[in-house]
Chain A
Amino acid sequence: MSEFNNRIDAQRRILRLVNASRDFKEELFGLSSGALERWARVNDYDEHNPLLVLLKQAAAKLSFLANKSQEQITDEYRSLSDEVASLTEQIRVAASNFSF
């Protein structure tokens, strides 16, 4: 499996952890900055919300914050780091425990 597809897999895992955790007014559509801002706005979360902070960290690691990445057809992305795995676990815990 390519590194690009691995990054999509990582994004999918994170979105599923969040969206399956409860009924939001509107679910999270992606890890772009625009999608995160929309999700926070619609669900009334401020910028210090712990889950939102973790999601932004993961998005930055996965290079999804900016939607301008044009190199979707290349296989030279940085390898996913252990840090992403750690952030994903923190998101799982935050999504299941955090009182919104």
Chain B
Amino acid sequence: MKQHLYAFGSLCRGEIDELSDVDLLACVETQQQARQFDSGRFSIYTRDRIRTLWRQGNPFAWHLHFESKLVFTSDGKDFLQELDAPHAYEKAEEDCARFMQLFEKSLRSLRSTSDSHVFHLSCIFLALRNFATCYSFTRGRPIFSRLSPMQVDTPVPVSPDVFNVLVRARVLSTRGTGKALTTGEVSMTMQACPAIHEWMQSLSPSEVLT
């Protein structure tokens, strides 16, 4: 059965730091073939699913189109390259609104509870990063980096320390690695959240387009 393995993400951008992960993609033909791979190490997709993402113009398809490199092919071909460019991404407005909702809900949870602060901050980072990536499409230069909120044309107005706390919360939640956050770090980041919210509102495509 055909099998194509790719590296993608920060490794392909040369954007390596102590928090960088190695992103590997396995493109397979069947679900049975998919089960051979460790889902902790690989993003595993059937070729049909990849084709669907391409047809939809999904941001992940664009991510792979721009930032993936073939590392193994079972048939001498480059499956992703042969797909050409994905369909245009047309849901930036809808997706930005969705990530703004996630941000707002996570912030409410952060303010109203005395537990699970790392998780709430992790969701705030997820919302912030994905919002910035979706927004970047509307500016003609999609940015897939974890640093996308700092790299868009109007960077999020937070200090590197605050941004680093958000990244650490995300890594703690998704990988379980890193130093736990201190009360002071949580408090400092909470104080920066209104500015993040205002930034999201000002860049929201639905606001910009009207």
Contact = CB atoms under 8 A, between A and B. Distances in A.
A27 B60 contact: no
Given A29-B176, A30-B173, A35-B175, A15 B116 contact: yes
A68 B60 contact: no
Interface in A13-41: 15-16, 19-20, 26-30, 32-39
Contacts of A65: 39
A16 B98 contact: no
A19 to B, nearest CB: 4
Contacts, number: 104
B118 A29 contact: yes
Given A20-B115, A71-B60, A1 B101 contact: yes
B42 A68 contact: yes
Nearest to A24: B115
A8 B102 contact: yes
A73 B180 contact: no
Interface string B76-88: 0000000000000
What secondary structure prevails in chain A residues at the interface with B?
loop
Contacts of A2: 98
Nearest to A66: B39
A79 B63 CA distance: 25
B58 A73 contact: yes
A67 B126 contact: no
B119 to A, nearest CB: 5
A68 B40 contact: yes
B66 to A, nearest CB: 14
A32 B170 CA distance: 11
Interface in A59-77: 65-75
Nearest to B117: A27
8 contacts: A5-B105, A9-B105, A16-B113, A29-B122, A30-B172, A34-B175, A71-B60, A73-B59
Given A19-B115, A34-B175, 18 more contacts: A8-B126, A15-B119, A16-B109, A19-B116, A27-B116, A27-B118, A29-B118, A29-B173, A30-B172, A35-B172, A36-B176, A67-B174, A68-B42, A70-B23, A70-B60, A72-B130, A73-B60, A74-B56
